[in-house]
Amino acid sequence: MKTYVVGGAVRDALLGLPVQDRDHVVIGATPEQMLAQGFTPVGKDFPVFLHPKTHEEYALARTERKTAAGYKGFVFHTDENVTLEQDLIRRDLTINAIAQDENGVLTDPFHGQQDLQNRIFRHVSDAFAEDPVRILRLARFAARFSLAPYDFIVAPETMELMRQMVVRGEVDALVPERVWQELARGMMEVLPSRMFDVLRECGALQRLLPELDALWGVPQPAKHHPEIDTGIHVMLVVDYAARQGYSLPIRFAALMHDLGKGATLPDKWPSHHGHEQRGVALVDAVCQRLKVPGDCRDLAIMTARDHGNVGRALEMRPATVLELLERSDAFRKPQRFLDMLKAAECDCYGRAGLVDIRFPQAAYLARALEAAQAVNAGAVAQSYLGQPQKIAEAIRAARVAALREYKDQSEFLE
């Protein structure tokens, strides 16, 4: 019986990165032997155990055989005769197929160290094509390792293999929950756009997120968007959100904000005409299909609907600002409204070639919310005892008055 550290822990250590979690593979052992040593079984599909002290995962070496479409269509085989190389060959990328024994000696049968040095994502074997999740994982790794000095590229033969997988319909068998899980993790990496670039290059984006894929080639108003192409603009926006360290809901809202521009339009309409209204329906469709969590869905829909209104905030009448606050449920959920302002700010700053731009609208609306919140609704209601039908309108009038006073005194409008 011998154990090895495998996968991401070895890869990250060789890259000089912090090691978060360590996974182990065990050669020459049976489940009974693992149990006898105090390991706790946790694996559902194949034998995986938790170490009695460190609680790190130890998996028995295994082979696998494809039996059906999708990422669950496998039969696993494990026994004490499975070799380390047989276990490593089933892994996705050469950089993840390096093992390290207890003495620090590396086993690297597929030249993963060389690919690490050359910054290349390369599949270990043709078995890569049997699991469509690996396309998503590779794209996610691309988002993680895309900034110097970790600027990895995809090997041409691996990209071609992924294209073939898409053509064969492998990605169509992915369940929504797994697609969302990988996309969400990729959006939280340092350069999310790289994930979508890889998915688009191999054709998977068109199958998984056709609404997003449709944005490339759609022209933007050149006055405000020097990058011209809507797809490029959206990638700049989501990367800006990542640079600010924003939460997943804000990054997803940034990704979804312009979906309406990719919808089929009558020839007489410019591509940006009324895209907010169309975008709401498209974002909702994406969220339903991928089973997106409610916090991400709600913020993305709000942003798609009103990011243009946020941009026009300085020209709005106080009553119109109040309508925006009410429509956004800002009095009950102020933080979500503030998050929408951040997503709209990403839309402004996520542009190519603009350095001297300002977006005071976000701060203006944040303070407008404070001014409206300062109205004592209880005191207003007390003034209309016996006339409950007038209370709501009286509160609205008081809030409009507060917003008017705020606007008259706002430094943003000087």
User: In a 3-state reduction of DSSP, which class is residue 252?
Assistant: helix
Q: Looking at the structure, tell me whether residues 98 and 173 fall in a common domain.
A: no
Residue that terminates a domain, selected from 161, 189, 208: 208
In a domain? residue 386: no
Q: Looking at the structure, tell me whether residues 331 and 229 fall in a common domain.
A: yes
Q: Looking at the structure, tell me whether residues 236 and 199 fall in a common domain.
A: no
pLDDT at 81: 86
Q: Looking at the structure, tell me whether residues 203 and 225 fall in a common domain.
A: no
pLDDT at 266: 42
pLDDT at 25: 94
Give the position of tokens 């940034």.
254
pLDDT at 382: 87
pLDDT at 227: 66
Q: Looking at the structure, tell me whether residues 359 and 321 fall in a common domain.
A: yes
Domains of the chain: total: 3
Residue that terminates a domain, selected from 181, 208, 235: 208
In a domain? residue 410: no
Q: Looking at the structure, tell me whether residues 192 and 224 fall in a common domain.
A: no
Of residues 164, 176, 94, the one with CA closest to residue 129: 164
CA distances from 395 to 94, 325, 404 (A): 64, 14, 14
In a domain? residue 333: yes
pLDDT at 291: 97
In a domain? residue 37: yes
Q: Looking at the structure, tell me whether residues 183 and 98 fall in a common domain.
A: no
What is the token pair recorded at 1? 């019986």
Contact 129, 161 (CB under 8 A): yes
Distance (Å, whole) CA 374 – CA 331: 11
In a domain? residue 402: no
Q: Looking at the structure, tell me whether residues 258 and 369 fall in a common domain.
A: yes
Residues 6 or more apart whose CB falls under 8 angstroms from that of 55 comprise none
Here the CATH number for the domain that contains residue 144 is 1.10.110.30
Would the CA dihedral through 246, 178, 207, 259 be positive or negative? negative
pLDDT at 65: 62
In a domain? residue 400: no
Query: For each successive 10 residues of the chain (414 residues), what is the average pLDDT?
Result: 94 94 92 92 82 92 66 63 92 97 96 97 95 97 91 97 96 95 98 98 97 89 70 95 97 96 55 71 96 98 96 95 97 98 95 76 96 93 83 93 94 71
Q: Looking at the structure, tell me whether residues 229 and 355 fall in a common domain.
A: yes
In a domain? residue 94: yes
Give the position of tokens 């700049």.
236
pLDDT at 355: 61
Distance (Å, whole) CA 146 – CA 133: 20
Distance (Å, whole) CA 132 – CA 178: 11
In a domain? residue 213: no
What is the token pair recorded at 410? 């706002």
Q: Looking at the structure, tell me whether residues 368 and 234 fall in a common domain.
A: yes
Contact 384, 394 (CB under 8 A): yes
pLDDT at 71: 53
CA distances from 381 to 97, 319, 385, 391, 396 (A): 68, 20, 7, 5, 11
Q: Looking at the structure, tell me whether residues 228 and 345 fall in a common domain.
A: yes
Here the CATH number for the domain that contains residue 89 is 3.30.460.10
Supply the range of the domain harboring residue 109.
1-117
Q: Looking at the structure, tell me whether residues 202 and 235 fall in a common domain.
A: no
Here the CATH number for the domain that contains residue 356 is 1.10.3210
